[in-house]
Amino acid sequence: MTTTSPLQAEDARADPSGDASVPAPVPHATYRRVLRRETHSSRSASAIVVLVVLVLVAAYVGVESVYAALSQRALLFSPLDTLSTLATAATSSASVIVIAVGIVTGLVGILLVVLAVAAGRRGRHTVADTRVAVVIDDHVIAAAIARGARTAGRLAPGQVTAWVSRRSSEIAVTPASGIPVDEEAVLTGAREELAETDYQPRVEPRVRVSQNGKLGA
């Protein structure tokens, strides 16, 4: 009795409702995790830099400790003298150096805390799709918007520049001298390009026409 149930489960998985060409979708949670990882910095680079510095400092202090333990002269500075040196330096004219070191150390500390806490977004959007998870670099979107806006406004390649941030896009147009720019057409072109792909979060285009025209553009 019990031996048949695993077989049945196997059959149900291999052929869901008789339609083998449509496999079960990838779990939503899996893709959500992948997309979060791909749109945010891993902080691996910063962590590796800090780790390498830490290893170098620990290696140096370790060597100095062995010298101190064997009662040899220190290479540069004995770690056992740290407190007494600091006690004398803080009260003497060398206190300026201590203050400077303190400020630098504190600033590095603040920088690391910010790196640990900040979101670290990577300038990427995701695109909804039924089968795959998609991430797309913002400058790819910007290039497509710039092309769409340029062709819709009948402009030359050098006249349109586009930026894409998380929720908006700015399209800067430099008009050719004496020829007005059809702002509405540029905006419509950008909107049509954006509507072709389901970017998340949505990108809202804005057009800015430069006050100064360009000769022969």
Using CB under 8 A, which residues numbered 66 to 125 contact another protein?
66, 68-71, 79-80, 83-84, 86-87, 89-91, 95-96, 98-99, 101-117, 122-123
Cβ distance to another protein smaller for residue 196 or 204: 196
What's the min distance (Å) between Cβ of 113 and another protein?
A: 4
Distance separating alpha carbons of residues 200 and 125, to the nearest angstrom? 6
Structure tokens belonging to residue 36: 């979060």
Tokens 């049945």, located at residue: 8
Type of residue at 66: V
Eight-class DSSP state of 174:
-
**Taking Cα atoms as reference points, which of 104, 86, 107 lies closest to residue 95?**
86
What's the min distance (Å) between Cβ of 5 and another protein?
A: 17
Residue 204 within binding range of another protein, rule CB under 8 A = no
Residue 209 within binding range of another protein, rule CB under 8 A = no
What's the min distance (Å) between Cβ of 106 and another protein?
A: 3
One symbol per residue from 16 to 45: x for binding another protein (CB under 8 A), - otherwise; what is it? Answer: ----xx-xxxx---xx--xx-xx-x-xxx-
Distance separating alpha carbons of residues 79 and 129, to the nearest angstrom? 59
Cβ distance to another protein smaller for residue 106 or 177: 106
Contact of 38 with 137, CB cutoff 8 Å: no
